[in-house]
Amino acid sequence: MNKIIESDVVVYHDETEIDGKIKGHVLLFVPIITTVKEKEGLFGDHQFQVNPLNNLFREIENIRGEFKTDHKFHFSEISGKKWAKRNYADKKLVETGVRYLRQNIGYCKLGIIFYENPSPRQIENYGGKDKREKELRFGETVLRMLLKGSVHYLYNNDHRVRILKIVTDGQPYHRKLDEFRILEKLMEEIRDYVEISPDAELIHLFSNHRKYDKDSEKYIHANLLQLADMLLGCSIHACFKDAEVSNANPRINDVIKDKKGIIAYPVKEMLDKRKRGRGFRISSHYKAFTISKAYLNDTGWEFENIMTKEVNISNTGQLILLTLRKVYD
């Protein structure tokens, strides 16, 4: 049976900095609508559509209702030693995000890239009158490379993608991200199975959902920006931090050594599936995510596997090696 999938997506973008040395971008691709066309099946041709963005948003709202919390999901703000009801919500949100990255469930995709803060020499050829403008243009270049690498690796002729818009968290710089530098320049570089809508735009939106009316589109986008933040934070905790990642289910008021390690476990478990080698190809998370590191040297940009990181898993006592794959061919 031949299956063709077409997804019209909104891309949610967030970024972070690790210990003042490494920066990271995340792109969460969430389809507004996905069309699945099955040909030559037992009952002939068949077609159906799903709305992952709407379904995912409803699940996030259900999580807030179940645990009676309206806090902003923000990985860096997870703190304290006692397990609280809001931490249940944090963990369930991450579990839901990981589930929606499965093929045939949510059709969502995740792209993450890390890079070191550029040196004065590395940014000297970037336009702009001052250092902060040059650094921002450097970051915009990395973001465009992540967008290009993600759509080329995560999608193919059997799963085509059309980008409707990019929603980025707030405006952390002296100006907005440049839509031309990120989107329009990309149009000349994409493959046949990738389309950028002529009406595509890059929207800056603060991710605090409490700023917006519950019936508004901004409220929906803010919640999904928070999910992108949580998936990025979990990935950093699993891959960079010398921390215990625990498959545990604590009770309310239990004293916890590392809450983030418990909340990050579903992401770490997903990343570990790559250790299956060829067996990973039959996983529902195959080509659902990509995570890499970029370097700029004298010959240009290079993309390579991040060094493996030993992370202690408290329920097994084993050391897990997370190998981050190169995706830019």
Rounded to whole angstroms, how far apart are CA atoms 312 and 238?
A: 10
Residue 49 domain flag = yes
Name which residue leads in pLDDT, 227 or 186.
Answer: 227
DSSP category for residue 290: E
Q: What secondary structure does DSSP assign to 156-212, as a single string?
A: BTTEEEEEEEEEEES--SSS---HIIIIITGGGT--TTEEEEEEEEEEEE---GGGS
In-domain check, residue 213: yes
Confidence at 275, pLDDT banded by 50, 70, 90: confident
Residue 327 is assigned to a structural domain of this protein? no
Query: Predicted confidence band at 122 (pLDDT cuts at 50, 70, 90)?
Result: confident
Per-residue model confidence (pLDDT) at position 316:
32
Report yes or no on 169 lying in a domain: yes
Position 123 pLDDT exceeds 70: yes
Q: State the average pLDDT over residues 149-162.
A: 96
Average pLDDT, the chain: 87
The pLDDT score that the predictor gives to residue 322 is 31
CA 247 vs. chain centroid, Å, equals 21
Is residue 267 assigned to a domain?
Answer: yes
**Is the pLDDT score of 227 beyond 80?**
yes
Record the pTM.
Answer: 0.90
Check residue 43 and give its pLDDT. Answer: 65
Number of domains observed in the structure of the chain: 1
Q: Does residue 43 sit within a domain?
A: yes
pLDDT of residue 323 exceeding 70, the answer is no
Per-residue pLDDT of 312-322, as tens digits, reads 444 432 222 23
Establish if 62 belongs to a structural domain: yes
- Is 201's pLDDT higher than 90? yes
Containing structural domain, residue 29: 2-322
pLDDT of the residue at 311: 42
**What does the pLDDT read at residue 304?**
63
Domain membership flag for residue 328: no
